[in-house]
Amino acid sequence: MSETTNQTPTLLLIGPLLPALQQQIESMYTVYKLWDVEDKNTFFKSHGDSIQGIVTSGIHGCKGEVMRALPNLKVIVSFGVGYDAIDIATARDRGVAVSNTPGVLDDCVADTAFALLIDVARGISAADRFVRNGRWLKEKFPLGRKLGGKTCGIVGLGNIGKAIAKRVSAFDMNVAYYGRHQQADVPYRYEPDLKALASQSDFLVLAVPGGNATHHLIGTDVLQALGKDGFLINIARGSVVDEAALVSALQQGVIAGAGLDVFAHEPEVPQPLLEMDNVVLTPHLGSGTHETRQAMADLVLENLNLYFTSGKLKTPV
Ligand code: 8YV
């Protein structure tokens, strides 16, 4: 924690950032780190007035109570495209500007969705365990499912959804999508009924934002519609799926399998999922490549510096 002079704006970091990004921010601003603070009330009383900006991430977010403790807060700059963990209503009420990092991570998140899809279809992770555990010496690995000719239902055809559609189309899959509105100028079939989309899909891929509007969008009814030969892929947010319903659907063979990068209570993953060979689990690595995380870091710095020199944000929410 460092406070040098009052000439540089004072920022509060909610959680640790990429080390290089954090270092750059610390070299340009006066920075407090909330995770280092033992007594938050005392900290807010003595330093709350000085803080003009918050830097956070899609995971760390920012609660309304933190904003309310900072009377001179003007801006929240977030690392990540999803901002469901930021209390946007409170930010708007208090006239606090918010930015995220759209555009720069679509390809990597879509790659992750496709990696999970091909993995669950062909059992790549399970096959790796099969070879390592010496089972190949005694048994045959079970057959997988072909992708070509199958239907991929995409829930949420935003930039990431479109990047997923492009990838699965290249593998000769049919694409249909569900969303609030049909989109002009997309070559994919719109399905206005989520359950109908699930029942037509071999793979149902979730690419909607998190938050109240999509909370538990996927429950028992949609999983039953997806059916015993269907796979669920989630690279969106754990909150979009009723996780207990998903676990029980997998236990009872209601669906064939799942590829999951996000969970309801990260980094906790329900124990039954850890024991299933037809489920591929990744630790919220959707955007996690050197190139994309660097691009996200650059955009965070750009938003921050632009705000404190011009009062504007490059990518406001
Ligand atoms: C990041 C994400 O892992 O962009 C998002 O919304 O979920 C991921 O890209 C996360 O924001 C980093 O904390």
Task: Dump pLDDT digits (tens) for 289-299.
Answer: 999 999 999 99
- Ligand 1 center to residue 237 CA distance, Å? 10
pLDDT digits (tens, 9 = 90+) for 151-183: 999 999 999 999 999 999 999 999 999 999 999
Global pTM reads 0.95
3-state secondary structure of 199: helix
Spell out where 191-256 has E strands.
Answer: 203-206, 231-234
Looking at the predicted structure, is the pLDDT value of residue 281 above 80? Answer: yes
Topology of domain 8-99+289-308, CATH: Rossmann fold (3.40.50)
Give CA–CA dist 145/143, Å, rounded. 7
Residues 270-295, mean pLDDT to the nearest whole number: 98
| Residue 266 falls in the annotated catalytic set | yes
8-99+289-308 and 103-279 have identical folds: yes
- Ligand 1 center to residue 241 CA distance, Å? 18
Looking at the predicted structure, is the pLDDT value of residue 2 above 70? Answer: no
For residue 114, what is the enclosing H or E element?
A: helix 106-122
Give CA–CA dist 16/93, Å, rounded. 27
Residues flanking ligand 1, CB < 6 Å: 57-59, 79-82, 105, 284, 286-287
Domain range summary for the chain, segments of one domain joined by +:
8-99+289-308, 103-279
In this structure, are residues 176 and 153 in contact, taking their beta carbons and an 8 Å threshold?
yes
Mutation test residue for ligand 1: of 261, 284, 299, the one with most atoms within 8 Å of CB: 284
| Residue 237 falls in the annotated catalytic set | yes
In this structure, are residues 313 and 303 in contact, taking their beta carbons and an 8 Å threshold?
yes
Protein residue whose Cα sits closest to atom 1 of ligand 1: 80
Q: Which residue has the tokens 């669920």?
A: 232
**Catalytic position from the list 3, 266, 268, 291:** 266
Q: Give one DSSP letter per residue of 244-301, joined into a string.
A: HHHHHHHHTTSSSEEEES--TBTTB--HHHHT-TTEEE--S-TT-SHHHHHHHHHHHH
- Ligand 1 center to residue 55 CA distance, Å? 14
pLDDT digits (tens, 9 = 90+) for 21-61: 999 999 999 999 999 999 999 999 999 999 999 999 999 99
- Give me the phi and psi of 263, to 5 degrees please: -140, 165
CATH number of 103-279: 3.40.50.720
Looking at residue 5, its pLDDT comes to: 45
Protein residue whose Cα sits closest to atom 2 of ligand 1: 80
